[in-house]
């Protein structure tokens, strides 16, 4: 299914307009790239299972932009020293992540010989998301001091909201062993291909959009006067349970989809 580009474009224009409004005030800019592994927490596998958490892992990449309130590009000077200016940055981002999904854990173990176990083993999926959004980053240490090289590390925490365009895929290779109840192999519309305790309508490869809450903790390392290295650990909670193409209603499905993303980044100071 195609990504909902109109809604994603509208969100991009809105964020760009906000960034441009801050630019008119003379604040300085930073631009960077991020990349790293993603652990997807979905309805695949067993909740809180190490094999599930480590097996359903993918990767993500993105471009980030910062408004630095502590420095003015129009006069090459520091702004009035206020707590907000010296401890906060506004981060905007557009990113993409993809994770292949399978069932892990006790229900697909080798000693499980039931048809339902085979249905789970032959069911796989893929979560693919485009993100665009903003976060407010808080730096406990002085941003001015870090920029001037007073110290090498600048830890931070952030909180914000991202608009997500998701595009899941669903695959099954299940072949029924019951000649009296054959299945339509590969057809995701055939409920006989999937775990029988799931209610009808639990599988979908439809694209969609949703909002998400994003929080992270991390640190910057001063590489040079005009560049930093960055690492941060992101937690992102979606307001949808369909981003993985699976939304069953068993008691084990208590939360919407969410992910953990370990980012490594390079940030360059534009002005």
Tens of pLDDT along 1-43? 445 666 666 665 556 555 555 555 556 889 999 999 999 988 8
Measured distance CA(24)–CA(74) in Å, rounded:
10
Extract the tokens encoding 234.
């992101």
For residue 205, pLDDT beyond 80: yes
Q: Could you read off the pLDDT of 207-218 as tens digits, one per residue?
A: 999 999 999 999
CB atoms under 10 Å from CB of 244, counted, come to 26
**Rounded alpha-carbon distances, angstroms, from residue 170 to 10, 48, 113, 226, 247:** 28, 23, 23, 45, 12
- Identify which has the larger pLDDT, 139 or 79: 139
Query: Could you tell me the pLDDT band of residue 72, with boundaries at 50, 70 and 90?
Result: low
Q: Which residues neighbour 125 within 8 Å (Cβ) at sequence distance 6 or greater?
A: 44, 100, 101, 102, 168, 169, 170, 171, 244, 245, 246
Predicted pLDDT at 1? 42
Question: What is the average pLDDT across 238-244?
Answer: 95
Q: Strand, helix or coil at 123?
A: strand
**pLDDT, mean over the chain:** 87
- Tell me how far apart the alpha carbons of residues 193 and 176 are, in angstroms, rounded to a whole number: 8
Predicted confidence (pLDDT) at residue 265 exceeds the cutoff of 80 = yes
Query: What's the first-to-final CA gap in the chain, in angstroms?
Result: 41
Instruction: Please report the beta strands in 73-207, taking only residues with DSSP state E, as ranges in sequence order.
Output: 77-78, 88-102, 123-138, 153-166, 169-172
Quick one: pLDDT band at residue 50, thresholds 50, 70, 90? low
* pLDDT at residue 142 tops 60: yes
- β-strand partners of 99: 127
Closest CA to 160 of 139, 133, 138, 140: 133
Contacts of residue 198, Cβ cutoff 8 Å, sequence gap at least 6: 248, 249, 250
Greater pLDDT, 12 or 138: 138
Task: Identify the three-state secondary structure at position 206.
Answer: coil
d(CA 130, CA 1) in angstroms, rounded, equals 14
DSSP, collapsed to helix, strand or coil, labels residue 88 as: strand
At residue 61 the predicted structure's pLDDT band, cuts being 50, 70 and 90, is: very high
pTM of the model: 0.86
């Amino acid at each position: 299914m195609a990504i909902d580009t109109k809604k994603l474009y509208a969100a991009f224009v809105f964020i760009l307009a906000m960034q441009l409004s801050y630019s008119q005030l003379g604040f300085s800019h930073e631009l960077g790239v991020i990349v790293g592994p993603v652990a997807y927490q979905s309805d695949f596998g067993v909740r809180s299972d190490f094999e599930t958490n480590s097996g359903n892992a993918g990767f993500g990449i993105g471009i980030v932009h910062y408004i630095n309130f502590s420095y003015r590009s129009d006069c090459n000077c520091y702004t009035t020293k206020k707590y907000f200016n010296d401890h906060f940055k506004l981060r905007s981002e557009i990113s993409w992540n993809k994770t292949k999904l399978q069932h892990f854990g006790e229900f697909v173990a080798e000693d499980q010989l039931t048809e339902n176990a085979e249905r789970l083993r032959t069911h796989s999926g893929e979560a693919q998301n485009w993100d665009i959004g903003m976060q407010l980053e808080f730096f406990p240490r002085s941003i001015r001091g870090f920029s001037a090289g007073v110290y090498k590390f600048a830890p931070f925490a952030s909180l914000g909201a991202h608009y997500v365009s998701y595009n899941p895929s669903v695959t099954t290779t299940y072949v029924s062993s019951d000649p009296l109840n054959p299945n339509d192999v590969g057809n995701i519309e055939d409920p006989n291909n999937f775990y029988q305790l799931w209610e009808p309508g639990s599988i979908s490869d439809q694209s969609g959009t949703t909002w998400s809450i994003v929080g992270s903790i991390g640190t910057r390392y001063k590489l040079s006067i005009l560049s930093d290295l960055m690492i941060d650990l992101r937690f992102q909670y979606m307001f949808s349970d369909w981003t993985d193409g699976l939304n069953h209603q068993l008691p084990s499905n208590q939360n919407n989809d969410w992910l953990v993303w370990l980012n490594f980044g390079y940030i360059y100071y534009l002005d």
